């Protein structure tokens, strides 16, 4: 009897084009297109992280090592090839470094501040690039602050109240003001990330004057258990936020809410969502991004705990959702949506169609935020 050829030998004998045609669509797309590079943070392992880094995803060997997890990250507006990363909350450091060379250019540690503060994980730059704004909280009572820093040296120059507790994201709006997501959750240094006030939360989106911190507007949801976390803005100026459901019974019909809202008529208004969509999205959103296109803007929301990427039209209509295990960071590059997960995956997504276009796996764990490299 003639020996049976092995599966490997049979596959090897097939034309490459035939093999390629039978691969799943996301795999074909990933093989056909180069992987996009990101500026982001990551850990050395998806399961047992011990070391933390920041840099370009296509040059991991040249990344800068961090003393603890990084969170928000951004290119410096000077265009000199440097970037700034903020520690994950409750955080201690801001770091500016030369991304290509790895040289540390400036650092800030909360122990060097004149006030007892901790960092809340996010940063933004002034329109002229001279100042950096970082969300902070006072250690004693948890009141929110926006720290004002020299963008080059990271010297802390001033701080302003955010008109709320537990600020997280700070976002520069197109017309100049700063939008601050006041999460409304009180945490204290002696208890880490333990939440002390879930029965009396007051989350809001505050809009501050970037010249003096004056509160220009403040928007709230009807439900105090919905924590405002992150902010995005469409090309037409519409502002949207992603949310975190802190209700004890978040999965029940009485308390389940969409993790997406827009600013409408002086308040935050939820996007539409069917019971199926609410169940698919779960209680927690990790990021939000505005994907502007010829047919309008689609907002993407990473539902990290549920492992779902959800999408809404700018007018609040629900587009759909797709599976994305551990998804968190969202960013837009060349008009397309990119998402990363804490299992090491990078996805390219057709936002208007709620469809994965390509997927690239990695051996490390992406952290919560990213920018195009």
Tokens matching residue 274: 């069917």
What would the pLDDT profile of 178-218 be if each residue is shown by its tens digit? 999 999 988 777 777 778 777 778 999 999 999 999 999 99
Inter-CA distances, 153 with 39, 97, 169, 310, 319, Å: 21, 11, 22, 39, 43
Closest CA to 118 of 188, 180, 179: 188
Q: Give how far Cα 60 sits from Cα of 83, 84, 186, 194, Å.
A: 15, 17, 36, 33
Q: Lowest mean pLDDT: which of 25-34, 72-81, 260-269, 300-309?
A: 25-34
Neighbours of 49 (CB within 10 A): 15
**Which pLDDT score, from 0 to 100, does residue 33 have?**
76
**Cα 170 from Cα 180, distance rounded (Å):** 5
pLDDT tens, residue by residue, 284-319? 999 999 999 998 999 999 999 999 999 999 999 999
pLDDT of residue 4: 47
Q: Can you say how many angstroms the Cα of residue 211 is from the centroid of all Cα atoms in its chain? A: 26
Give how far Cα 157 sits from Cα of 86, 153, 160, 208, 241, Å.
Answer: 17, 11, 11, 17, 28
pLDDT on residue 188: 76
> CA–CA separation, 87 vs 90, rounded Å?
8
Span 56-75, mean pLDDT? 96
Of 286, 285, 239, the C-alpha closest to 264 is 239
**CA separation for the pair 363, 66 (Å, rounded):** 18
Q: Looking at residue 27, what is its pLDDT? A: 56
Report how far Cα 85 is from the mean position of its chain's Cα atoms: 13
Q: What is the mean pLDDT of residues 102-109?
A: 97
* Residue bearing the bigger pLDDT, 34 or 53: 53
Taking alpha carbons only, the member of 186, 189, 179, 146 closest to residue 165 is 186
Mean pLDDT of the chain: 91
Written as one string, the DSSP assignment of 127-154 is TTSSEEEEEEEETTT-EEEEEEEETTT-
Q: Is 16's pLDDT higher than 80?
A: no
Looking at residue 11, its pLDDT comes to 41
In this prediction, residue 28 carries a pLDDT of 60
Residue-wise pLDDT for 238-272, tens only, equals 999 999 999 989 889 899 999 999 999 999 999 99
166 close to 187: Cβ distance less than 8 angstroms: yes
b or e along 117-140 (b: 16 or more beta carbons within 10 Å of the residue's beta carbon)?
bbbbbbbbbbeeeebbbbbbbbbe
pLDDT per position as a tens digit, 137-194: 999 888 999 999 999 999 999 999 999 999 999 999 999 999 999 999 887 777 777 7
pLDDT over 70 (residue 89): yes
> Backbone phi, then psi, for 301, in 5-degree steps?
-130, 125
Q: What are phi and psi of 53, to 5 degrees?
A: -140, 165
The predicted structure's pLDDT at residue 44: 92
What is the C-alpha separation between 193 and 90, in angstroms, rounded? 7
Helix (H, G, I), strand (E, B) or coil at 193: coil
Q: Which two tokens stand for residue 7?
A: 């599966």
pLDDT for res 24:
65
Cα gap 306→356, rounded to integer Å: 17
Both tokens assigned to 54: 């920041």
In the block, residue with structure tokens 């399961």: 47
**Exposed (0-12), middle (13-18) or buried (19+): which is 162, by Cβ within 10 Å?**
buried
pLDDT, greater one: 22 or 203:
203
Q: Has residue 1 got a pLDDT over 50?
A: no
What is the structure's pLDDT at 333? Answer: 96
Computed over its alpha carbons, how large is the radius of gyration of the chain?
Answer: 22
Helix (H, G, I), strand (E, B) or coil at 209: coil
**pLDDT(13) > 70:** no
How many angstroms separate the Cα of 336 from the Cα of each of 266, 353, 357?
31, 12, 10
Confidence (pLDDT) at 200: 78
Instruction: Give 314-353 pLDDT, tens digit per residue.
Output: 999 999 999 999 999 999 999 999 999 999 999 999 999 9
Mean pLDDT value of segment 221-231? 97
Task: Note whether 148 and 159 are within 8 A (CB).
Answer: yes
Beta carbons of 118 and 165 less than 8 angstroms apart: no
Q: What pLDDT score was predicted for residue 8?
A: 45
Given a cut of 80, whether residue 91 has pLDDT beyond it is: yes
């Amino acid at each position: 009897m003639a020996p049976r050829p092995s599966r490997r030998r049979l596959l090897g004998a097939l034309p490459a084009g035939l093999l390629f045609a039978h691969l799943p669509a996301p795999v074909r797309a990933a093989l056909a297109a180069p992987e996009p590079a990101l500026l982001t943070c990551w850990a050395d392992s998806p399961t047992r992280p011990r070391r933390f880094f920041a840099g370009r995803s296509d040059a991991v060997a040249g990344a800068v090592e961090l003393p603890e997890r990084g969170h928000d990250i951004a290119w410096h507006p000077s265009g000199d090839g440097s970037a700034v990363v903020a520690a994950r909350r409750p955080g201690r450091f801001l770091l500016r470094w030369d991304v290509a060379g790895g040289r540390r250019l400036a650092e800030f540690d909360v122990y060097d501040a004149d006030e007892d503060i901790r960092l809340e994980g996010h940063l933004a730059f002034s329109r002229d690039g001279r100042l950096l704004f970082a969300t902070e909280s006072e250690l004693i009572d948890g009141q929110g602050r926006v720290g004002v820093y020299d963008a080059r040296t990271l010297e802390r120059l001033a701080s302003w109240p955010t008109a709320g507790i537990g600020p997280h994201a700070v976002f520069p709006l197109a017309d100049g003001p700063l939008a601050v997501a006041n999460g409304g959750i009180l945490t204290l240094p002696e208890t880490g990330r333990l939440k002390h006030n879930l029965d009396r939360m007051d989350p809001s989106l505050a809009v501050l004057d970037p010249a003096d911190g004056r509160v220009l507007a403040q928007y709230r949801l009807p439900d105090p258990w919905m924590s405002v976390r992150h902010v995005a803005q469409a090309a037409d100026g519409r502002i949207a936020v992603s949310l975190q459901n802190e209700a004890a019974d978040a999965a029940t019909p009485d308390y389940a809410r969409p993790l997406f809202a827009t600013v409408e008529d002086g308040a935050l208004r939820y996007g539409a969502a069917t019971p199926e969509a609410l169940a698919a999205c779960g209680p927690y959103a990790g990021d939000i991004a505005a994907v502007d296109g010829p047919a309008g803007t689609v907002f993407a929301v990473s539902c990290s705990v549920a492992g779902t990427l959800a999408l809404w039209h700018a007018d609040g209509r629900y587009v759909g959702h797709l599976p994305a295990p551990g998804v968190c960071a969202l960013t837009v590059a060349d008009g397309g949506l990119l998402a990363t997960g804490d299992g090491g995956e990078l996805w390219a997504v057709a936002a208007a169609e709620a469809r994965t276009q390509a997927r690239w796996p990695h051996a490390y764990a992406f952290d919560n935020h990213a920018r195009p490299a």
